[in-house]
């Protein structure tokens, strides 16, 4: 098969003058607990681009957001991330105290080739999320070229993802490129049959994806709380299960769409019920999908898990987003685990996107058993919905 390309300038082809300064936007938005990183996979995912630039003798300036601070906030400092980076690469890593300003400029000017300077959290600057032209220009003035490797932030038009690219030669990093090419491939030329597994909490979050895949996939398997919007739309009692009112109407439309589509839409055939959303809840296995009052559907049942597993095993390619149940609670994790195992065993190409799906896969120790585990939740979904990602659009054409 012809290798798909991004159509954008790649960091591989970016000309970096000897000792040139490169500003790379990375996604170091890692989970922190008491100032410690609990999962460094986003930092590790950025290493190929970082190492490539350092090997070329660049003076490398990195920037990222972390969390959602609304101004300077030491709790969201990038220092833990830059310290972790320093342990992972064989190059000196320095942490700036600010995002931009005279101190940062001096640091960037004095940075020796082969060294890394990490700017502070871009969201400490109010102009970041507003794509403020002044901030974009200030960021750009630190470097001779720009690389965006922050796929997880590519759906946001911010100063560090979009505005800055106007002022410099702007290339795609290796991670961003792989993410976009792989995810687009799922829509544009998947190995068939394409089996899509969608779960999670809300239909409203995923309706655009459901509609898109009813158009392009061969089978769409629904799990998670969102199946209850479908059941409610079919007039099936859902008890105390999580149902969004708005979701019921959307699910009804999706059911109509499915009737006219070549894609098979599969809903659960059995459930695991709980008396409440709690690991200590009373638990009951239900043969069908009717949920009595006083009970909530919190996982797909064994029969459903097996049926979904069979579909996944037959697939030419699989895309999975959203857990099948409340997998954070032990009694309701089996359905998600079964799907994760089926995806890990599947002979076809397997792509997983979504924060909680990725967390589930990691928790089951299966993260390295899929073809591609997306680092971008929202960005991956928007791309699959067919929307342009501003952070990709802003880069130079190839």
Residues near ligand ADP (CB under 6 A): 199-201, 205, 224-225, 242, 297-298, 321-323, 325-326, 328, 354-357, 377
Q: Which part of the chain contacts Mg ion (CB under 5 A), choosing from 163-171, 174-182, 297-305, 347-355?
A: 347-355
Residue 357 CB, shortest distance to ligand ADP, in Å, is 4
Q: What are phi and psi of 373, to 5 degrees?
A: -110, 110
Count of residues in contact with Mg ion, rule CB under 5 A: 2
Partnered with residue 291 across adjacent β-strands are 238
Catalytic residue among 127, 301, 309, 355: 355
Which of 45, 40, 41 shows the shortest CA–CA distance to 24?
45
114 is catalytic: no
Q: How far is CA 391 from CA 146, 165, 246, 351, 395, in A?
A: 12, 9, 31, 21, 7
Catalytic residue among 79, 202, 314, 369: 202
H or E element at residue 181: helix 174-188
Judged by beta carbon, residue 95 or residue 357, the one nearer ligand ADP is 357
Which of 47, 55, 8 shows the shortest CA–CA distance to 24?
47
Name residues contacting Mg ion, limited to 196-215 (CB under 5 A).
none
Residue 173 CB, shortest distance to Mg ion, in Å, is 24
Q: What span, in angstroms and rounded, lies between the C-alpha atoms of 197 and 3?
A: 26
To 10 degrees, the CA torsion angle through 207, 210, 213, 215? -80
Judged by beta carbon, residue 39 or residue 51, the one nearer Mg ion is 39
Rule CB under 5 A: is residue 353 a binding residue for Mg ion?
Answer: no
Rule CB under 5 A: is residue 356 a binding residue for Mg ion?
Answer: yes
Which of 347, 349, 346, 356 shows the shortest CA–CA distance to 381?
356
Q: Judge whether 139 and 160 are in contact, CB under 8 Å.
A: yes
**CA triplet 126, 129, 135: central angle to 5 degrees?**
60
Which of 128, 135, 124 shows the shortest CA–CA distance to 150?
128
Rule CB under 5 A: is residue 224 a binding residue for Mg ion?
Answer: no
To 10 degrees, the CA torsion angle through 152, 55, 83, 126? -50
Judged by beta carbon, residue 247 or residue 355, the one nearer Mg ion is 355
* Number of residues written out for the chain: 398
Residue 64: contacted member of Mg ion, ligand ADP, none (CB under 5 to 8 Å, by partner type): none
Rule CB under 5 A: is residue 244 a binding residue for Mg ion?
Answer: no
Catalytic residue among 8, 21, 25, 42: 42
302 is catalytic: no
Residue 359 CB, shortest distance to ligand ADP, in Å, is 8
Q: Which residue has the tokens 């030669």?
A: 169
Residue 201 CB, shortest distance to Mg ion, in Å, is 7
Residue 78 CB, shortest distance to ligand ADP, in Å, is 24
Give the other-Cβ count within 10 Å of 353's Cβ. Answer: 27
137 is catalytic: no
Judged by beta carbon, residue 301 or residue 323, the one nearer ligand ADP is 323
Residue 225: contacted member of Mg ion, ligand ADP, none (CB under 5 to 8 Å, by partner type): ligand ADP
253 is catalytic: no
Q: Which of 355, 376, 390, 391 binds Mg ion (CB under 5 A)?
A: 355
Rule CB under 5 A: is residue 309 a binding residue for Mg ion?
Answer: no
Judged by beta carbon, residue 309 or residue 355, the one nearer ligand ADP is 355
Residue 149 CB, shortest distance to ligand ADP, in Å, is 22
Judged by beta carbon, residue 177 or residue 356, the one nearer Mg ion is 356
Q: What span, in angstroms and rounded, lies between the C-alpha atoms of 281 and 332?
A: 10
Tell me the catalytic residues. 42, 202, 355, 378
- The residues of the shown chain that bind Mg ion, judged by CB under 5 A, are 355-356
């Amino acid at each position: 098969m012809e290798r798909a390309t991004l159509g954008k300038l790649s960091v591989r082809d970016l000309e970096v003058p000897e000792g040139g300064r490169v500003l790379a936007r990375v996604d170091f938005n890692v989970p922190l607990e008491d100032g410690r990183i609990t999962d460094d996979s986003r930092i590790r995912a950025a290493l190929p681009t970082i190492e490539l630039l350092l090997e070329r003798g660049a003076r490398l300036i990195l920037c990222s957001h972390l969390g959602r601070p609304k101004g300077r906030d030491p709790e969201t400092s990038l220092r833990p991330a830059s310290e972790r980076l320093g342990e992972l690469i064989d190059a000196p890593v320095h942490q700036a105290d600010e995002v931009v300003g005279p101190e940062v400029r001096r640091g960037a000017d004095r940075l020796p080739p082969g060294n890394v300077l990490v700017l502070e959290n871009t969201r400490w600057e109010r102009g970041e999320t507003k794509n403020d032209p002044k901030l974009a220009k200030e960021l750009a003035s630190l470097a001779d070229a720009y690389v965006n490797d922050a796929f997880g932030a590519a759906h946001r038009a911010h100063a560090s993802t979009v505005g800055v690219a106007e002022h410099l030669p702007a290339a795609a990093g290796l991670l961003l490129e792989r993410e976009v090419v792989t995810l687009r491939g799922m829509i544009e030329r998947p190995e068939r049959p394409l089996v899509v597994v969608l779960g999670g909490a809300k239909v409203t979050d995923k309706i655009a994806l459901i509609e898109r895949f009813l158009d392009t996939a061969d089978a769409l398997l629904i799990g998670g709380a969102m199946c209850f919007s479908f059941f409610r739309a079919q007039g099936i009692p859902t008890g105390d299960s999580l149902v969004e009112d708005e979701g019921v109407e959307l699910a009804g439309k999706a059911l109509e769409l499915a009737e006219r589509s070549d894609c098979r839409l599969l809903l659960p055939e059995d459930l695991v019920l709980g008396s409440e959303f709690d690991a200590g809840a009373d638990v009951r296995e239900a043969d069908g999908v009717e949920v009595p009052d006083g009970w909530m559907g919190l996982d797909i049942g064994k029969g459903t898990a097996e049926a979904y597993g069979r579909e996944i095993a037959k697939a030419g390619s699989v895309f999975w987003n959203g857990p099948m149940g409340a997998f954070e609670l032990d009694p309701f994790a089996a359905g998600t685990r079964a799907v994760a195992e089926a995806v890990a065993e599947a002979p076809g190409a397997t792509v997983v996107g979504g924060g909680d799906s990725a967390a589930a896969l990691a928790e089951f120790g299966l993260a390295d058993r899929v073809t591609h585990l997306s680092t971008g939740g929202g960005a991956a979904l928007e791309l699959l919905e067919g929307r342009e990602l501003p952070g990709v659009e802003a880069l130079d054409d190839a």
